[in-house]
Structure 1
Amino acid sequence: MVARMILQSLAWLGFMGVLLFGAAGTLAWPAAWWYLLELALLSLWLGLWLARHDPALLAERLAPIVQAQQSRWDRLFMAVIGTLWVGWMILMGFDAMRFRWSAPVPLWLAIVGAFCVMLCIVLCRSVFRANSYAAPVVKIQASRGHRVADSGPYRYVRHPMYADALLFFIGTPLLLGSWWGLAALPLMAYAFGWRAVREERVLAAQLDGYTDYMARVRYRFVPYLW
């Protein structure tokens, strides 16, 4: 499974590299190389941790993003968010390098961006530690004894992985030097908020105890905000 994880990660990173450098029109983009290297190292670290501590969850994370158990709306979400992701990568390549629409991002902000990306991945490990059912698709994993996760970050927000993703959507454009990429943050946040609401409907209807959990933990992404 580790070999499969490494191969899938390399394939995904290679695809991202094609999008970024293809849009940029050059390989001379140090920030993009650093970004891909950072993602490669962090993904390997997290994948090896999962392989050791929760191989069943790693198997779920490596499964196809379209599955028979998914609701139709979640399949639609995956198609839309995948399209948005591709467009986002291309936009940042155009903006930061090919056409240079944006003013330069200060070095200190690029460093903040790299830190945000790292923090996102590190915090995802706390999510995986608390929730062995954090599959990339919305489904009830009855065969694995699916139960409500209410420890770790789930004590504070109902969707900590989506909250962590916001750090990624902030850090990536800052590191790559694209203000236009950062401007896409509200759209990404709205998309994941839309999914979170519908995911909760599925969990409340099909997972014992989730309605009580929602009553205990009021906020979805950010405490005292939403």
Structure 2
Amino acid sequence: MPADVRRHSLIGLVAVPPLLALVLFLPAGHLSWTRGWLFLVIFSFAMASAAAALWQINPEIFAARRRIQPGTKSWDKLLLALLAPALLAIPVVAGLDDGRFHWSAMTTPVVALGYLLWLAGFAGTTWAQAVNRHFEPGVRIQTDRDHQVIDSGPYALVRHPGYSAAGLLLVGIALSLGSWWALLPALVSALILVIRTRWEDETLQAELPGYRDYAQRVRSRLVPGVW
């Protein structure tokens, strides 16, 4: 891995936990929010573990995902602009809800279910990145990187496993933070990803050689046997 990419990745690992702490605890209004601390610790550990695994398996992914690349579809830039505030709203709403105003009444088993969902989703997105060197943040045909169809690992089950896992991740985050209200931005985010899945799939079928044949072999986009 080039030195600048490694440095950028390490900075991200160091910077994300304090930034996440800000968007959790500023809305909560205090530092004694137990569910917020538990989430922050487990998220930081999961992120570091995933980064360590990807450094070994697919280090190229760090350079690919460090920014939106030239050639990204204009419609995808619009979707990303809508997705960013929706994602940010999940911890903010949870902090306001469970951390400050206590609008929700969520039991511990539901919170535990949330952790199972988001950890499964996190593992799924990491798996997709591990086998797919083309897993960039923006949708484009990567002619500069010898873009090819990936059909191994989770891509043998559904065509867009990163988005499938992200759906579990988003819902799980809201539940693990103890907030029914945070499900609203989580579901909005998931809806944007469903739209993105459809448009990305259409783009790949039209522009990426071999993808149409792959789509005939792997019929489902997100959920096996459903869609």
**Residue 34 (structure 2) aligns with:** 30
> Are 1:69 and 2:71 an aligned pair?
yes
Question: Across the two proteins, how many residue pairs are aligned to each other?
Answer: 223
**Residue 119 (structure 1) aligns with:** 120
The 2-side partners of 1:30 and 1:54 are apart by: 35
- Identity within the alignment, %: 32
**Residue 60 (structure 2) aligns with:** 56
Name the SS of the counterpart of 2:182 in structure 1. Answer: helix
> Are 1:188 and 2:192 an aligned pair?
no
**Residue 8 (structure 1) aligns with:** 12
The 1-side partners of 2:52 and 2:109 are apart by: 31
The 2-side partners of 1:84 and 1:114 are apart by: 20
CA contact (8 A) 1:2 1:48 kept: no
Tell me, which stretches of 5 or more residues in structure 2 are unaligned? none
CA contact (8 A) 1:6 1:44 kept: no
Tell me, which stretches of 5 or more residues in structure 1 are unaligned? none
**Residue 91 (structure 1) aligns with:** 93
The 2-side partners of 1:6 and 1:36 are apart by: 18
**Residue 150 (structure 1) aligns with:** 151
**Residue 107 (structure 1) aligns with:** 108
The 2-side partners of 1:18 and 1:125 are apart by: 25
Change (3 A) 1:13 1:78: farther
> Are 1:18 and 2:22 an aligned pair?
yes
**Residue 130 (structure 1) aligns with:** 131
The 2-side partners of 1:118 and 1:88 are apart by: 16
> Are 1:161 and 2:165 an aligned pair?
no
Q: Deviations over 1:24-57 (max 9, x none)?
A: 1111112111111112111111112222222212
**Residue 170 (structure 1) aligns with:** 171
How far did residue 112 of structure 1 move? 2.0
Superposition RMSD in Å? 1.6
Q: Which amino acid aligns with 1:22?
A: L
**Residue 39 (structure 1) aligns with:** 43
Give the TM-score, by structure 1 length: 0.91
How far did residue 106 of structure 1 move? 1.5
How far did residue 186 of structure 1 move? 3.2
Name the SS of the counterpart of 1:157 in structure 2. Answer: coil
The 2-side partners of 1:84 and 1:13 are apart by: 19
Give the TM-score, by structure 2 length: 0.91
Name the SS of the counterpart of 1:137 in structure 2. Answer: coil
> Are 1:219 and 2:220 an aligned pair?
yes
Q: Which amino acid aligns with 1:44?
A: A
My pick for the range that moved more, 17-26 or 134-143, is 134-143
How far did residue 23 of structure 1 move? 0.7
Q: Which amino acid aligns with 2:173?
A: T
CA contact (8 A) 2:71 2:140 kept: yes
Q: Deviations over 1:55-108 (max 9, x none)?
A: 2122112x22x33211111111111111112222221111112111111x2112
CA contact (8 A) 2:124 2:165 kept: yes
